Structure 1
Amino acid sequence: MRIRDWDQNLKVRLFGESLMNFTFWMSFPFLTIYFTKAFGNGIAGILLIASQVFSVVANLLGGFYADRYGRKRMMTISALSQGISFIIFAFANSPWFHSSILSFICFTTISIFSSIYSPASQAMVADVVDEKHRSHVFSVFYVSLNITVVVSPILGGIFFTYYRFELLTFCGLSCIILAALLTRFTRETTPKTTHTIQSLNTWYNTLLNQVKHYQVILYDKVFLLFIFAGVLVAQTFMQLDFVLPVYTNKVFQEGALLNAGMIHLHFSSAQFFGFILSENGLVVAVLTITITKWISQFPHKNIFILSSLLYAISIFLFGIWNSSWGFIASMLLFSFAELIVTGIQQSFVSILAPDHMRAQYFAAASLRNTIGKMLAPISIPLVGWIGFSGTFAILSCLAIISAIIYIIMFKLYDQKHKRIITNGNN
């Protein structure tokens, strides 16, 4: 399905969201550094955990609001609210006024409305695209996002450091432009039956139903171990947003990345973090399809275990290598750990899920990243207690434990599978 054959809603969103993501990734990767400098590691960690909790609740309710009030309306309100929050964020970092507390409130507000935007945007794709074309449409949006992740952090290392007010203002304007495009050039796509059903529900009943759906993990030991292992290994890759930027800012000051003849590459700590983040985005964007095709020929067990071990090694190396090239090598290994497991996780969930409970299993599977993201900021105050080396060592151990859990999980899975075959033969 070619982009020119897409519904107009999707064409408008692809342009508007690309612009918004471009500015978003110029600022957000550096905010952990900003808040740790403003509040200290301990308080910043607690504040970031609280922010993630609000975002998780907003994400759980986002689907309900999109069904009840409409995809277009919720996306427009979310984009506009993010834009206004960015403008206030810019004012809190302007030449005339500075407030770290107001900055954090704006950051949390942006995160909440971003979480509300996501379910509505995904539902809109399902509304206007046939099932056989949906994976292609989602992949185009995914590639578009990764392209911005390649370019934006490098620019953000410069603009967030030296032109913060201007950058945050531009972020706000890009969100407002997206809201205007959604208002003027898109239509509502929510099915009328969905409006009717959700109008009989309330937000708190929806939240309770979401929690009840997650009870499925308590009755499936294999799936429970899958969630548990996923939460543990998430503590490593989630550190791209938390400990790694703080560590990079502390370890790397102004220095040279390359001095070869007439080529001289110098960097600040923020610019270097933007560079390695772009490295991760580039590797993922370029190699995802190729690596997924190659790795799919191996057993799921080996892939999950290998990914956890690679995460363990790479996060440990981050803690012991203080050279720029050592960091680049560690990030390459880190990216490969992400690549080999990205394409098979959802397919493995579909294997575990009974046909009549597939939606509940997929909803519960999202707890790996949901809980993982809530817990990940704990690493920031942990640095203040035991230092960076100790923190990276603990994170590495958690990834190794996840690999051990995967071994146990697949042993139980094989036993369960054999019992099903035996009962079927009888």
Structure 2
Amino acid sequence: MRQCEENMVPIRLWNINLKVRLIGDGLFNMLFWMYFPFITVYFGSAMGNHVAGLLMTIPPIVSMLGSLLGGAVTDWAGRRPVMLIGALLQTVMFALFAVSSSHWMEFFAFIGLGLGGAIYKPASSAMVADLVPAQDRRQVFATFMTANNIGAVLGPALGAVFFFHYRDELLWTCTVVMLLYFIAIYFMVHETSPPSAKLPKGPHFLTTVFKEQWKGYGIIFRDKVFLTYMLAGIFSLIPIMQLDLYMPVYVIDEVPSQPLFPWTGLSPVLSGAEIYGWLVGFNGLLFVLFIWPVTKWFHNWKERDVFILSSFLSGIGTFAIGLNSNIWFLFVITIVFTFGEIVRTPVTLSFISRYAPEHARGQYMGADSLQNTIGKFLAPVTVFVSSWVPPMGIFSMILIFSLISVALYVQLFRMNTEHPEAADSGPP
């Protein structure tokens, strides 16, 4: 069965694979956000901030390799086995984290968690693309994003208590949840990969797999349309990622303490750090409340226009943060750049699932994740140069990145219209 059983949208009519994934991903994502925001602080207090800062450069590299490996094996072994491997690896690593008395072993477990998630994600996304008709993918991906962002809103608030005071209990809870999710995948999820994605087995099948997948990635990265899409995505993500990078530096250092409700005499006065916390929480709340309706509003928009709007809103919104330090002005600007992120996410997943040829969908999903990894390497440049460049110089740099992204998306869809059937025939 290759189609989603719902004719959009009721979740109760979804294919069982999608229902299991929605519940499992939502629960795990909430637990993930209960420990992830505090992990750098935890290792920093144990090993020193300089060592922790260097160690935190390793997870993106491991995730990049895991995504490429997961995407490659997905097209050979199928979606379900790779999802099982990713879920089992995360289960084992959570248990190792919980029982370990060594900070280095805990860091190894943390690396393993990232690797398991990176292996799991391309197979998971490819399964959605297998099951859902192209015209419905934006709404389905938006539903998954809504479930994930509910966890991103609730997780940090709960983790601020549980991670520091009940860390072992939290990690064991994560272990049990991932084990139950693994069991659910094993017994309830069926395979969805097309027969064309399978490679024949033989005496040297493993060597053949890696040779074929390496050759496949070579084809992907020689695909000019896909490379343009990747570059445009990297430049568009740099402004979006500033919420966790330069924005806290700017708000905490440059925004003065001020009352939350200045028109009343009883308003609490918030420091720069507290204002930043409110802005992050507001960002998460907007995601939860609006990703689904926004996806519906833009359902009939062309992908090109959505990508351009996203880059423009996130760039202009981030740039405008430096124009005024009033807390309510910052709330309004948060709406602007958050909507830039909201409109982008579902259409990104739908674009690559449509563009990728059926037999290499997992590989393309894995390669697509490199946008996020490379963006994470480049986005911190704003923090690095902030010691020499004034805030408006940094915000101008961020705006330039977004405008480059707009230009690349315009070029992308000019190129793509020359090969409208690229998704059916493979890379041009």
Same fold by TM (over 0.5)?
Answer: yes
* Cα distance change on mapping 1:362 and 1:314 into 2, 3 Å: farther
Alpha-carbon contact 1:91-1:98 (below 8 Å) kept: no
Alpha-carbon separation, structure 2, partners of 1:397 and 1:299: 28
Q: How does 1:231-242 map to 2 (within 5 A)?
A: 231-240=234-243, 242=245
Alpha-carbon contact 1:45-1:381 (below 8 Å) kept: no
Q: Which residue is equivalent to 1:89?
A: 97
Alpha-carbon separation, structure 2, partners of 1:388 and 1:9: 51
1:311 aligns with 2:314: yes
Alpha-carbon separation, structure 1, partners of 2:57 and 2:25: 26
Question: Bigger shift: 46-55 or 263-272?
Answer: 263-272
Alpha-carbon contact 1:89-1:107 (below 8 Å) kept: yes
User: How many angstroms does 1:211 deviate by?
Assistant: 3.0
Q: Which residue is equivalent to 1:150?
A: 153
Q: How does 1:190-269 map to 2 (within 5 A)?
A: 190=193, 194-197=197-200, 200=205, 201-217=208-224, 226-240=229-243, 242=245
Alpha-carbon contact 1:158-1:270 (below 8 Å) kept: no
Residue in structure 1 matching 2:81, options 51, 73, 92: 73
Question: Bigger shift: 398-407 or 31-40?
Answer: 31-40
Residue in structure 2 matching 1:119, options 115, 119, 122: 122
* Cα distance change on mapping 1:269 and 1:207 into 2, 3 Å: farther
Q: Which residue is equivalent to 1:397?
A: 397
Alpha-carbon contact 1:308-1:399 (below 8 Å) kept: no
Cα deviations across residues 53-110 of structure 1 (Å, max 9, x unaligned)? 2211211221332344443333223212212212332345xxxx461x3333222211
Matched-pair identity in %: 30
User: How many angstroms does 1:403 deviate by?
Assistant: 0.5
Q: How does 1:26-425 map to 2 (within 5 A)?
A: 26-35=34-43, 43-92=51-100, 97=101, 99=103, 101-126=104-129, 137-190=140-193, 194-197=197-200, 200=205, 201-217=208-224, 226-240=229-243, 242=245, 276-292=279-295, 307-316=310-319, 328-342=331-345, 370-377=370-377, 383=383, 386-387=386-387, 393-394=393-394, 396-404=396-404, 406-407=406-407, 410=410
Alpha-carbon separation, structure 1, partners of 2:251 and 2:96: 28
Alpha-carbon contact 2:232-2:405 (below 8 Å) kept: yes
TM-score by length of 2: 0.72
Alpha-carbon separation, structure 2, partners of 1:49 and 1:75: 25
SS at match of 2:39: helix
Alpha-carbon separation, structure 2, partners of 1:319 and 1:34: 31
Alpha-carbon contact 1:314-1:334 (below 8 Å) kept: yes
Question: Bigger shift: 283-292 or 298-307?
Answer: 298-307
Alpha-carbon separation, structure 2, partners of 1:141 and 1:311: 22
Cα deviations across residues 245-298 of structure 1 (Å, max 9, x unaligned)? 67778899x998679999987999998766544422332333235445656788
Cα deviations across residues 302-328 of structure 1 (Å, max 9, x unaligned)? 765554454334445657877765654
SS at match of 1:288: helix
Alpha-carbon separation, structure 2, partners of 1:138 and 1:65: 22
* Cα distance change on mapping 1:185 and 1:108 into 2, 3 Å: same
Alpha-carbon separation, structure 2, partners of 1:363 and 1:299: 25
Question: Bigger shift: 5-14 or 208-217?
Answer: 5-14
Letter in 2 for 1:72: R
* Cα distance change on mapping 1:227 and 1:15 into 2, 3 Å: closer
Cα deviations across residues 373-425 of structure 1 (Å, max 9, x unaligned)? 2342455587466449758844651442441463476479779989x9xxxxx
Q: Once superposed, what is the RMSD of the aligned Cα atoms?
A: 4.8
Alpha-carbon separation, structure 2, partners of 1:28 and 1:14: 20
Question: Bigger shift: 295-304 or 69-78?
Answer: 295-304
Letter in 1 for 2:23: F
Q: Which residue is equivalent to 1:424?
A: none
Cα deviations across residues 20-47 of structure 1 (Å, max 9, x unaligned)? 1221122223334445555666654543
Q: How does 1:9-20 map to 2 (within 5 A)?
A: 9-20=17-28
Q: Which residue is equivalent to 1:23?
A: 31
User: How many angstroms does 1:144 deviate by?
Assistant: 2.0
* Cα distance change on mapping 1:241 and 1:11 into 2, 3 Å: same
TM-score by length of 1: 0.72
Alpha-carbon contact 2:230-2:371 (below 8 Å) kept: no
Letter in 1 for 2:376: A
Alpha-carbon contact 1:86-1:169 (below 8 Å) kept: yes
* Cα distance change on mapping 1:167 and 1:401 into 2, 3 Å: same
* Cα distance change on mapping 1:299 and 1:361 into 2, 3 Å: same
Alpha-carbon separation, structure 1, partners of 2:247 and 2:337: 12
Question: Bigger shift: 356-365 or 83-92?
Answer: 356-365
